[in-house]
Structure 1
Amino acid sequence: MNEYEHALELKEETIANRRFLHENAETGLHLPETKAFVMKKLKEYGIEPVECGEGVTATIGNGGKVILLRADMDALPMKEESGEPFSSKTGAAHACGHDFHAAMLLSAAKILKEEEAELKGTVKLMFQPAEETFQGSKNMLEHGILEEPKVDAALAYHVSPGRFPVGLYMYNDKNTMMYSVDGFKITIQGKGSHGAYPQVGVDPINIGVHIHLALQELIARECNPSHSCVLTIGQFEAGTAANIIPDTAVLQGTIRTNEKEARELLVKRMKEVVEKTAEVYRGSATIEMISEVPPLICDSELTKEVVGYMKELEIPNLIPHPDVSSSASEDFAVIAEKVPSSFLYLSAGYLDERGDYPAHHPKVQFNEEVCPIGAGCLAHCARRWLEEH
């Protein structure tokens, strides 16, 4: 019996674990109930988990080379409107599928534990928090997730909703798969005054407007047109009344690129433009970097190997879709920057109206038929990589 066949036997258990995590969704870096559930399940499977920063890790195997299998566990701070009978009770929502990732890795761990005597190396598990805030991978990295034992390669899957058939899998073994993200918070200091006497104050709203416009010119006039670059201001907060010029204004946004050099240029120039524009209009500005995640660039050789291992399982309707690139961002890139890594999307879509909503939408639904595919592929690819390395 191969790992996919074993995962089919565990399908109902995987779905039950997914639904528990979905119903009890938690956000951010601290996921007490989620973490406790994952650790309890690992212990039931005969695996000894330990905390790693705010996440959970464990090992299965017999020394030798080490492959890391990663799953994120956090949800989004939004109300769910999917209509599922197991909808979240917490006010948070697993609208990005991280509940699937954790449940599939739990089942993969159970399969690998049963195969432990035959493994030709070690599988290291990484259950991480705070992917949505781009904190989780860094938190676990700082607490040694890639050490003791030292990790040689890493693999992660991400489920994808939409009008796609289950079985489609997407990867990129040539170029950037997902963009960098540099989140920033700009605090503009002006001088408050009565709205009727702007000359005695320094208007931070006016400064913010000019900063917003100036930043867009970086994309239009300073970025190489062959690079993909996005600079978005998604939040602008200032003032309490129509006739008062406030002391401060705050802008928050993100920079996303598919090239390291474009990222370096935009972050550097963003800071310069913000500070100098504030000075022109007699104010000042400070910049806080909220997130700093590189582009996700998968290791070409490892990704080709993973795709080859997946084909060995002969899963019905498993359809490869290469050369996928997304302007979304993923903090697995922090791991991929340190060790050879592969990251693949697995379709968890529907071909009917249930596939009409994208990830991060309150009405999004994911197809649970993906569960044995993800669990089986994680376990099989880990075993096969260890055999060949």
Structure 2
Amino acid sequence: MWWKECKDLQEEIVAMRRELHKIPELGFNLPKTREFVVKKLDEIGIPYTLSEKDSSVIATMKCGKPGKVLALRADMDALPITEDTGLSFSSTHPGCMHACGHDTHAAMLLGAIKVLYPHREELSGEIRFFFQTAEELAKGSAIVIENGGMEGVDAVFGIHIGSILDKTIPCGTIACIPGPIMASYDRFVLDVKGVGCHASTPEKGVDPINIASHIVLALQTINAREIAATDAGVITMGMIRGGEQYNAIPSTVHIEGTTRALKEDIRQKLAKRIGEIAKTTAEAFGGSVDYTMDWGAPPVINDKDMALFAQDAIRDIFGEHMVTYRESPNMGGEDFALYLQKAPGAFMFLSSTNPAKKTDYPHHNPKFDVDEDVFWMGSASFVAIAEKFLK
């Protein structure tokens, strides 16, 4: 019943989140964020190791008796977004914002540690707490794994806050769904090459803007005509840059986009066909293309038994009505998927959508915010899972 202690920590968890929200940092190098996390771990007294490859931290709690190894994860990185929430604790780092709730994830995991650590002698086994960088780049979990974080782990769990599944899920509800729940997410880059010339004599050059336009349209036919309607897949071009003068045809056009899939074979097919179609389209118009696929994370596939285990643990403390079971995978991505390739586990969602508090903006939006009243529930879910798994 230790989860009840999380209620008493609610104000502290909120305060930690607000401090982290002020100091968002990007990618792998999060010096201020790590300093804050380490300070809190020192206050608790739990031992930890610092990564030499990035700013990640792994805290380790050895329990009173030998037993299983449990891993609990929070991400810490932010986004290159200028905040527009008007919050009193808004970002103090220009052009950088916690617009996906990672500040909350770190605060909730710190809250769980503060409750669990004093009870360590009453449990069997070990808990590793991951504070991870670069989730937004789909690279941070790989470093935790390289640093040995998943060695010997029997189960791994994580929580994401917000409206990531569905705005209709009531605030404070936890979704824990067996099977595929999030898509793979990868980034592709196309550098289309032509021959620049004056706009009045296009016949003297090779127009990469024309080529890029045909490539963008052609890539949309992959899902429409090459992927079965029952297999989810997304190809989106999010960036296209080319030209500097209205009366000049440039030599290059730069395109960047992302692919999403719920199955690995569909993920691989999307990548293959993007390269083939871009290459042949460019050649048909006399140009060429350099294609790069920046592999991110595979689909997030929850282990059925671990998802049901987490459901039971959370239902025991919050009741049936606070846990949703429906199958509802979405095309967002998460590098938590790499942990699930190393050990069975489950990734959960904590709804914080509350229109009255203006916390219904989508993730990665300059106005994104979360309902702070549910923070203790995230910590309590971690505690309940740990207590049930290691007792």
Q: Return the TM-score normalized by structure 2.
A: 0.94
- Structure 1: distance between partners of 2:336 and 2:46: 24
Residue equivalent to 1:185 = 189
**1:208, distance to aligned residue in structure 2 (A):** 0.8
For residues 99-143 of structure 1, give each alpha carbon's deviation from its aligned partner in whole angstroms, at most 9, with x where no partner exists.
110001011111121111111111001101111121211232233
* Contact kept in structure 1, 2:296 and 2:335, CA below 8 Å: no
Residue equivalent to 1:102 = 106
Does 2:172 match 1:172? no
Residue equivalent to 1:156 = 158
* Contact kept in structure 2, 1:4 and 1:315, CA below 8 Å: no
Residue equivalent to 1:25 = 24
- Structure 2: distance between partners of 1:324 and 1:126: 26
What code does the residue aligned with 1:144 have? G
- Structure 1: distance between partners of 2:374 and 2:321: 12
Helix, strand or coil at the partner of 1:125: strand
* Contact kept in structure 1, 2:311 and 2:323, CA below 8 Å: no
Does 2:117 match 1:125? no
* Contact kept in structure 1, 2:24 and 2:97, CA below 8 Å: yes
- Structure 1: distance between partners of 2:131 and 2:226: 40
What is the aligned-residue identity percentage?
Answer: 38
What code does the residue aligned with 2:126 have? T
Residue equivalent to 1:69 = 72
Residue equivalent to 1:86 = 89
Q: Which runs of 5+ in 2 are unaligned?
A: none
Pairing of 1:235-254 with structure 2 (within 5 A): 235-254=239-258
**1:21, distance to aligned residue in structure 2 (A):** 0.2
Q: Which runs of 5+ in 1 are unaligned?
A: none
- Structure 2: distance between partners of 1:144 and 1:125: 13
For residues 342-382 of structure 1, give each alpha carbon's deviation from its aligned partner in whole angstroms, at most 9, with x where no partner exists.
01101112142614422222122211111111111102202
Residue equivalent to 1:345 = 349
* Contact kept in structure 1, 2:175 and 2:349, CA below 8 Å: yes
**1:255, distance to aligned residue in structure 2 (A):** 0.9
- Structure 2: distance between partners of 1:340 and 1:270: 32
- Bigger Cα displacement from structure 2, 329-338 vs 117-126: 329-338
- Bigger Cα displacement from structure 2, 100-109 vs 352-361: 352-361
- Structure 2: distance between partners of 1:75 and 1:260: 27
**1:317, distance to aligned residue in structure 2 (A):** 6.0
Helix, strand or coil at the partner of 2:331: coil
Residue equivalent to 2:59 = 58
For residues 270-318 of structure 1, give each alpha carbon's deviation from its aligned partner in whole angstroms, at most 9, with x where no partner exists.
1111122222222221112234211111000001001101122246962
Does 2:284 match 1:285? no
- Structure 2: distance between partners of 1:14 and 1:355: 18
Residue equivalent to 1:195 = 199
- Structure 1: distance between partners of 2:22 and 2:390: 35
What code does the residue aligned with 1:273 have? I
- Bigger Cα displacement from structure 2, 285-294 vs 4-13: 285-294
- Structure 2: distance between partners of 1:266 and 1:226: 15
Helix, strand or coil at the partner of 2:187: strand
* Contact kept in structure 1, 2:353 and 2:360, CA below 8 Å: no
What code does the residue aligned with 1:156 have? G
What code does the residue aligned with 1:152 have? D
Structure 1 pair 221–75 and aligned structure 2 pair: CA distance change class (3 A)? same
Helix, strand or coil at the partner of 2:358: helix
- Structure 2: distance between partners of 1:316 and 1:93: 35
- Structure 2: distance between partners of 1:87 and 1:298: 34
For residues 188-229 of structure 1, give each alpha carbon's deviation from its aligned partner in whole angstroms, at most 9, with x where no partner exists.
122211222222222211111111111111111100111111
Structure 1 pair 189–28 and aligned structure 2 pair: CA distance change class (3 A)? same
Residue equivalent to 1:13 = 12
Does 2:298 match 1:294? yes
Aligned length: 383
The RMSD of aligned alpha carbons is 1.7
- Structure 2: distance between partners of 1:94 and 1:178: 21
What code does the residue aligned with 1:242 have? Y
Q: Return the TM-score normalized by structure 1.
A: 0.94
What code does the residue aligned with 1:157 have? I
Helix, strand or coil at the partner of 1:121: strand
What code does the residue aligned with 1:169 have? I
Does 2:29 match 1:3? no
- Structure 2: distance between partners of 1:281 and 1:230: 26
